[in-house]
Amino acid sequence: MTNRIAELRKARKISQVELADGVDVTRQTIISLESGRYNASLLLAHKIARYFGLTIEEVFLFEEETT
């Protein structure tokens, strides 16, 4: 799972702290999400997508695992 959080945030000139405040998580969670170390829950994914005014699919990119 990859995401466009950093890209969307930078395009809109929003700081990590502002995004964290907006979706009610810590800044460390935003850092982990952006670096791909942590995958957001469905609830947080929904909050982040709504914060950017987009759908979950537009923010979070699900990549099918190839075997």
Partner 1 sequence: MKNWFKKTVPFVMFAAAWALILAAFLLGERVPKQISLALFTLGGLLLGFGAVGIALSRIHVSPELLKEYERGEKDERNVAIREKAAMSSWYWTLYMLWAVFMAIQIFVGGLWGVAISVVIVLHCAFYMVNIHRWNKKL
7 token code pair: 């890209």
Q: Smallest Cα–Cα separation from 43: which of 27, 25, 26, 58?
A: 25
Report the residue number, 15 or 28, with the smaller CB distance to partner 1.
Answer: 28
Contact window for partner 1 (CB under 8 A) among 4-12, 38-46, 48-56, 57-65: 38-46
List strand residue ranges (DSSP E) for the chain, in order: 2-3, 60-61
Using CB under 8 A, which of 6, 18, 22, 29 touches partner 1? 29
CB of 25 to partner 1, least distance (A): 5
